[in-house]
Amino acid sequence: MTEKIVIGLDGTDTGERALAFAKDLASKIDACELLAVYVIEWSPFTFQTAEENERRHNRREEEINLAMSRIVDPAVEGLKAAGFKATGLVRHGDVAETLNKLTVENGGTQIIVGRASSDGFAKRIFGSSTQNLVMHADVPVTVVA
Amino acid sequence: MKNFVKFGLTAAAVTVMSSPLAAQETPGIDERVNEAFAAVTGPFVSLIFAPFPGTEFPWIVMWLVVAATVFTIYFGFVQFRFFKHAIHLVKGDYADPNDAGEVSHFQALTTALSGTVGLGNIAGVAVAVGIGGPGATFWMILAGLLGMASKFTECTLGVKYRNEYPDGTVSGGPMYYISKGFKELGIPGGGFLAILFSIFCILGALGGGNMFQANQAHAQISGIVGDYPGWITGIIFAVVVFAVIVGGIKSIANVTEKVVPFMGILYVGAALVILIVNYDMIGWAFSQIFVGAFTGLGVAGGFVGALIQGFKRAAFSNEAGVGSAAIAHSAVKTKEPITEGFVSLLEPLIDTVVICTMTALVIVISQQLIVDPATGNYLLNEAGTAISTVDGNTGVSLTSAAFGASISWFPYVLAVAVVLFAFSTMISWSYYGLKAWTYLFGEGKTSELTFKIIFCVFIVIGAAASLGPVIDFSDAAIFAMAVVNIFCLYFLMRVVKKELSSYATRLDAGEIKRFSH
């Protein structure tokens, strides 16, 4: 059976560490695919102005293109250069929920993410995306320090 | 360079805005603005509110109610049949995950709501109850329920016939569905009617979406800090609105958009607290509403007076049939235009049936309207045009006094809410007005700037003029939009019917995919 590892990227060092760990792990598995995912934090339940709504479609495309070109594509190319079979995805949504959903949809067998990079008041109230993912994921999750 | 341009524009605006300031030396500038304004707008107002011959019933009120009733029957009581489905849509149950990041149904609904929930709910209801008595509330609720069908019709068309440009932006609204829809059906005159609608939409934006807001915001502020000239409030508002719509200072708009919904919740919450505290009077208040609806309880014009006021204020508050919401709703991401129609029908429900009713109940329960103990009827003022109130309050100050009677500090919260509501409504309507303006004059920096400057000047006029002429003009302008819009909706409603039948069949057959439960 092919192992499919999903790597949650966040554009920071922690994401990079998750990527390095996934590479290391994949090299030890015979049949292994990697899926690099970047989730753009977004909620359908925010309040927006009419002008924001009018331009939203455009902004979304820009956000996806930017995340693809700056974060996901370089990661996928790096993985391919290292000899792995790798693909990438960008999606809007709640980070933990979307990462889990994409993993299930794409047949992922485990998720690797970096430890939460932010600290502070909001995290104390709402918890971090990593914590939420660990609590609710349908597949095993590895959190890289 | 960009900042320099921004600064230059702001400076230019301040120069434009400062003209009333220069005239400050002449005493009574507010009165002069008021007189001039009333004289200019008088004929337009008289035409829109002309009564049926031999009666006092304005034809425009009948126009709106008949339309809402026709749509309700034509679409088989769509507002009740698809109510639950509308809730599922807003919750995102039918949203394709692949479209995540696009404008959701919830966002389109709340954006439209921020344009409608505002002073109409606070001040407008007070005007209705102050003139038409508690019975006006009954007719207001009825108009709100029927209006859901009008809103459904126009918002479905708004999405169906919107323009999607190559750069990904969208523009929609009655001017688009009138011109494109008429062309598609082979009916002549769509182009002309779309232009006529756009003209009225610009006037509506300047009236109800601007002057009425500025006027009542000033009334509320001066009620707390003491009387001072209205143009001062006008200039402050104008500068802030200018900073947002011309200077592109998004942070102010963003803050408002985020605070306003909470203000709405706080307002309804406070009203609920007052109702709970006075729970023993709720039954009495409803009996006043029902009895007053059919007898008038002594108000000017009897029960017809109550009915006219109720219908008028409901239309002004939820804008069903006016066409404005179709502009706001058209930005949603959906493959089925009708889904936005379903979602939009929640708007009059939230706006009129819930929020307006809360205001009316608080005013009635707080006994701000003076009752003649001998007859049990309401006492009229000296002119016989409205019910006498404690301290002679009208409009927003009546609502404020009603809330203040139970929660002494609430007028301060209300003042903040009024200012924010007024501001968010102005921002929304500046957008609606601009869309109509660009439809007429084309898109372009100079064209857009011209409209935005005119919009800001009208804020000052609105704050300086007295309530009477402002409310007359605001109502007339908004109802003029409804004249054209509803006329066209009668021709286009068969398009919506086709969409509705097709969607309902597919929904029943399970072809419309539900992504979450």
The CATH number given to whatever domain includes residue B307 is: 1.20.1740
For chain B, how big is the Rg over CA atoms in Å?
22
pLDDT at B383: 78
Residues of B in contact with A40 (CB under 8 A): 101
Q: How far is B80 from chain A (nearest CA, A)?
A: 24
Judge whether A68 lies within some domain. Answer: yes
> Where do the H-state alpha helices sit in B354-444?
357-365, 395-406, 410-441
Q: At B18, is the pLDDT very low, low, confident or very high (cuts 50, 70, 90)?
A: very low
* A63 contact B CB<8A: yes
Residues of B in contact with A51 (CB under 8 A): 253, 431
> CA-CA distance, A103 to A7, in Å (whole number)?
9
Residues of A in contact with B107 (CB under 8 A): 44-48, 53
Per residue in B170-192, pLDDT tens? 889 999 999 999 999 999 999 99
CB contact under 8 A, A47 and B107: yes
Given a contact cutoff of 8 angstroms between Cβ atoms, the answer to whether B301 and B123 are in contact is no
Judge whether B307 lies within some domain. Answer: yes
For A118, phi then psi, to 5°, come to -105, 155
CB atoms within 10 A of CB A132: 18
- Best of B87, B91, B104, B176 to disrupt the A interface by mutation (most A CBs within 10 Å)? B104
Please report the ipTM that was assigned to this predicted complex.
Answer: 0.87
Name the domain count of chain B.
Answer: 1
Mean pLDDT (chain B) is: 86
- Residue in B74, B28, B16, B59 with CA at minimum distance from that of residue B500: B74
* A98 contact B CB<8A: yes
pLDDT at A1: 66
| Chain A, nearest residue to B101 by Cα | A92
Tell whether the model's pLDDT for residue B148 goes beyond 50.
yes
Grouping H, G, I as helix, E, B as strand and the rest as coil, residue B225 is helix
Instruction: List all residues 6 or more positions away from A28 whose beta carbon is below 8 Å from its beta carbon.
Output: none
Judge whether B514 lies within some domain. Answer: no
- Beta-bridge partners for A142: A112
Tell whether the model's pLDDT for residue B451 goes beyond 90.
yes
Amino acid in position B31: E
| Cα distances (angstroms) measured from residue A48 to each of A84, B38, B261, B428, B513 | 42, 36, 11, 11, 27
CB contact under 8 A, A98 and B331: no
Residues of B in contact with A68 (CB under 8 A): none
Residues of A in contact with B427 (CB under 8 A): 49
Highest average pLDDT, of B46-55, B431-440, B458-467, comes from B431-440
- Best of B87, B88, B107 to disrupt the A interface by mutation (most A CBs within 10 Å)? B107
CB contact under 8 A, B97 and A101: yes
Judge whether B77 lies within some domain. Answer: yes
pLDDT at A10: 83
Exposure string over B450-480, b if 16+ CB within 10 A, otherwise e: ebbbbbbbbbbbbbbbbbebbbbbbbbbbbb
pLDDT at B353: 92
Residues of B in contact with A67 (CB under 8 A): none
Q: At B105, is the pLDDT very low, low, confident or very high (cuts 50, 70, 90)?
A: very high
Judge whether B164 lies within some domain. Answer: yes
**Mean pLDDT along residues B392-413:** 88
- Residue in A33, A27, A80 with CA at minimum distance from that of residue A72: A80
Highest average pLDDT, of B78-82, B314-318, B369-373, comes from B78-82
| Chain A, nearest residue to B248 by Cα | A51
Judge whether A115 lies within some domain. Answer: yes
Q: How far is A119 from chain B (nearest CA, A)?
A: 24
Angle value at C-alpha A131, between A128 and A137, nearest 5 degrees = 130
Exposure string over B207-237, b if 16+ CB within 10 A, otherwise e: bbbbbbbbbbbbbbbbbeeeeebbbbbbbbb
Residues of A in contact with B448 (CB under 8 A): none
CB contact under 8 A, B107 and A49: no
- How many interchain CB pairs under 8 A, A with B? 87
Q: How far is B239 from chain A (nearest CA, A)?
A: 19
Instruction: List all residues 6 or more positions away from A5 whose beta carbon is below 8 Å from its beta carbon.
Output: A22, A25, A26, A32, A33, A34, A35, A108, A109, A110, A111, A112
Say what percent of chain A tops pLDDT 70. Answer: 91
* A61 contact B CB<8A: yes
**Mean pLDDT along residues B134-153:** 94
Judge whether B17 lies within some domain. Answer: no
CB atoms within 10 A of CB B188: 9
Residues of B in contact with A98 (CB under 8 A): 100
Q: How far is B234 from chain A (nearest CA, A)?
A: 23
Name the domain count of chain A.
Answer: 1
Q: Which range (A68-82, B155-169, B373-387) has the least confidence?
A: B373-387
Judge whether B504 lies within some domain. Answer: yes
Out of A55, A60, A101, closest to residue B101 by CB: A60
CB atoms within 10 A of CB B114: 25
Tell whether the model's pLDDT for residue B25 goes beyond 50.
no
Residues of A in contact with B108 (CB under 8 A): 53
B163-164 and B170-171 beta bridge pairing: antiparallel
Tell whether the model's pLDDT for residue B14 goes beyond 70.
no
Out of A47, A57, A61, closest to residue B333 by CB: A57
**Mean pLDDT along residues B120-129:** 88
Judge whether B404 lies within some domain. Answer: yes
CB contact under 8 A, A47 and B260: yes
Longest dimension (CA), chain B: 73
> CA-CA distance, A100 to A104, in Å (whole number)?
6
Q: How far is B68 from chain A (nearest CA, A)?
A: 26
pLDDT at B302: 78
Q: How far is B107 from chain A (nearest CA, A)?
A: 6
Which structural domain range is residue A16 located in? 10-140
> CA-CA distance, B163 to A107, in Å (whole number)?
39
Q: Which range (A12-16, A113-117, B10-14, B266-270) has the least confidence?
A: B10-14
- Best of B89, B94, B110, B111 to disrupt the A interface by mutation (most A CBs within 10 Å)? B111
> CA-CA distance, B254 to B265, in Å (whole number)?
18
pLDDT at A117: 55
Q: How far is A57 from chain B (nearest CA, A)?
A: 6
pLDDT at B499: 96
Instruction: List all residues 6 or more positions away from B86 whose beta carbon is below 8 Å from its beta carbon.
Output: B342, B343, B345, B346
Question: Which single residue is written with the structure tokens 């007719």?
Answer: B139
Angle value at C-alpha A25, between A24 and A26, nearest 5 degrees = 95
Grouping H, G, I as helix, E, B as strand and the rest as coil, residue B284 is helix
* A53 contact B CB<8A: yes
Out of A47, A60, A92, closest to residue B258 by CB: A47
| Cα distances (angstroms) measured from residue B24 to each of B21, B76, B461 | 5, 58, 14
Given a contact cutoff of 8 angstroms between Cβ atoms, the answer to whether B299 and B288 are in contact is no
> CA-CA distance, B181 to B189, in Å (whole number)?
11
Q: Which residues 110-129 on chain A approach chain B with CB closer than 8 angstroms? A: none
Interface of B with A (CB under 8 A): 92, 95, 97, 100-108, 110-111, 114-115, 167-171, 253-254, 257-258, 260-261, 327-328, 331-333, 427-428, 431-432
Q: At B245, is the pLDDT very low, low, confident or very high (cuts 50, 70, 90)?
A: confident
Tell whether the model's pLDDT for residue A120 goes beyond 80.
no
Q: How far is A82 from chain B (nearest CA, A)?
A: 30
CATH number at residue A75: 3.40.50.620
Per residue in B31-73, pLDDT tens? 777 778 778 888 888 888 888 887 777 888 889 889 999 999 9
